[in-house]
């Protein structure tokens, strides 16, 4: 059974004991056999001695526990929690309890709690160290992964950029192809129209050529007739000089006759003047005839030259007639072939025109699809840019996490070192 006496009461009891000793000391001294003058100083000394003894007892009683608590507290402060349990056991064994006992119990309890806490902290530090190592490992792997992700994202970005460029190039190429297809369609349309016109013109040309060939056949016949006519004309022209010679001879004879008549008229004197004048006129007539015959002879000569040329030309033309007829026959056959081929070309041009229009439509749709693909590629590129930015931020966060993990590791080590200071 423990009695609880607060410290204040102990102080009061001590004070009372000192006062009672001081009060009872003079009566005791009176009873002693000492000189009178010594009784008062002796009483005083005894009273002080009693007071010192009692005071010393109380002080020792008080300070002993305080020193123990202080010593334990100092050891606790140094991490030694081994002696705290004794404070509690001592306080439990005391008969009289006071605030010091409470303090010792509290210190012991605090030490126990601290011990439990330190043990928990140790356990936690151990777990924290393991967790930090795992975390550091994970963060390290995350950092490596982040690097790979950044590298991969960069490669994806480059790929997306290259893809966007390729798609842009492909779009431009396909647009150019579409424009080319459009242009080709226009040209093919023109070509089809032209081939149609050519076909029509060839048909007309064939008809005109056939008509021309028939007329050429007529011309060939005319050339043959011309040759025979020219030969006959040449023969007839050969007769003209003979006639002209006769006329020339007659005119010269007439001239001579007129000359002689004039001479004879001259011999007749004045009477023959009129006859002489007539004879002179006859001479002039004969001279004119002669001149005309000369002119005609000259013309006939030129005409003969021309006729000979005509005959030669007609002969040459006749000689070439056979070749010309063969050529005409070949031209007729070639015209038939050209007409057939032209019709075939026109039909094929129409087919090509239809196919070209279909190709144009397909090219237009292809352009639309390529534009959509280009749009998607641009969006992918933009998304890749965002992903790359996010990955870069993630890398930065990973770096920060690594830094934090390193700090945490240091803190864990420090905490471990701190906890290691405690002896349990």
Which residue ranges make up the site for other proteins (CB under 8 A)? Answer: 252-253, 256, 259-260, 262-263, 266-267, 273, 276, 280
Contact 135, 391 (CB under 8 A): no
By residue count, the chain amounts to 424
Query: Of 261 and 363, which has the nearer Cβ to other proteins?
Result: 261
Contact 293, 248 (CB under 8 A): yes
SS3 94: coil
Q: How far is the CB of 264 from other proteins (least distance, A)?
A: 8
Structure tokens at 311: 């005959």
Query: Of 249 and 413, which has the nearer Cβ to other proteins?
Result: 249
Q: How far is the CB of 324 from other proteins (least distance, A)?
A: 48
Query: Of 264 and 306, which has the nearer Cβ to other proteins?
Result: 264
Query: Of 224 and 280, which has the nearer Cβ to other proteins?
Result: 280
Query: Of 252 and 304, which has the nearer Cβ to other proteins?
Result: 252
Structure tokens at 316: 């040459």
Q: How far is the CB of 294 from other proteins (least distance, A)?
A: 13
The string of DSSP codes covering 151-163 is HHHHHHHHHHHHH
Distance CA 314, CA 193 (A): 45
Distance CA 302, CA 244 (A): 15
Distance CA 327, CA 34 (A): 192
Distance CA 200, CA 346 (A): 10
Query: Of 106 and 259, which has the nearer Cβ to other proteins?
Result: 259
Residue from 228, 229, 236 nearest 300 by CA: 236
Query: Of 170 and 278, which has the nearer Cβ to other proteins?
Result: 278
Query: Of 201 and 256, which has the nearer Cβ to other proteins?
Result: 256
Q: Which residue has the tokens 């300070």?
A: 63
Distance CA 384, CA 157 (A): 6
Distance CA 282, CA 295 (A): 19
Phi first, then psi, for residue 423 (nearest 5°) are -105, 120
Q: How far is the CB of 303 from other proteins (least distance, A)?
A: 23
Contact 237, 303 (CB under 8 A): yes
């Amino acid at each position: 059974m423990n009695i609880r006496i607060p410290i204040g009461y102990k102080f009061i009891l001590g004070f009372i004991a000192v006062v009672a000793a001081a009060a009872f000391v003079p009566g005791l001294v009176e009873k002693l056999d000492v000189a009178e003058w010594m009784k008062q100083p002796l009483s005083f000394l005894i009273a002080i001695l009693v007071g010192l003894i009692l005071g010393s007892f109380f002080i020792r009683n008080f300070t002993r526990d305080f020193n123990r608590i202080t010593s334990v507290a100092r050891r606790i402060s140094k991490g030694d929690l081994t002696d705290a349990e004794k404070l509690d056991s001592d306080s439990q064994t005391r008969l009289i309890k006071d605030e010091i006992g409470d303090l010792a119990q509290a210190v012991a309890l605090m030490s126990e709690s601290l011990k439990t806490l330190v043990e928990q902290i140790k356990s936690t530090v151990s777990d924290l160290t393991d967790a930090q190592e795992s975390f550091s490992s994970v963060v390290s792997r995350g950092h490596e992964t982040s690097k790979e992700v950044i590298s991969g994202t960069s490669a994806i970005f480059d790929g997306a950029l290259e893809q966007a460029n390729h798609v842009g190039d492909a779009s431009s190429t396909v647009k150019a192809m579409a424009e080319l297809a459009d242009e080709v369609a226009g040209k093919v349309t023109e070509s089809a129209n032209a081939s149609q016109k050519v076909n029509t013109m060839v048909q007309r040309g064939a008809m005109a050529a056939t008509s021309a060939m028939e007329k050429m056949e007529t011309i060939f016949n005319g050339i043959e007739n011309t040759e025979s006519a020219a030969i006959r004309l040449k023969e007839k022209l050969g007769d003209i000089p003979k006639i002209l010679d006769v006329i020339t001879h007659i005119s010269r004879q007439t001239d001579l006759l007129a000359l002689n008549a004039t001479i004879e008229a001259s011999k007749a004197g004045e009477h023959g003047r009129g006859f002489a004048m007539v004879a002179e006129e006859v001479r002039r007539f004969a001279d004119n005839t002669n001149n005309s015959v000369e002119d005609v002879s000259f013309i006939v000569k030129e005409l003969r030259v021309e006729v000979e040329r005509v005959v030669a030309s007609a002969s040459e033309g006749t000689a070439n007639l056979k070749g010309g007829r063969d050529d005409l026959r070949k031209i007729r056959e070639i015209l038939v072939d050209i007409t057939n081929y032209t019709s075939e070309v026109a039909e094929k041009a129409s087919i090509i025109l239809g196919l070209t229009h279909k190709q144009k439509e397909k090219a237009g749709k292809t352009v639309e699809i390529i534009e959509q693909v280009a749009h998607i590629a641009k969006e992918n590129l933009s998304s890749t840019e965002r992903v790359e930015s996010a990955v870069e931020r993630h890398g930065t966060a990973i770096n920060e996490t690594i830094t934090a993990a390193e700090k945490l590791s240091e803190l864990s080590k420090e905490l471990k070192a701190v906890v290691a200071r405690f002896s349990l």
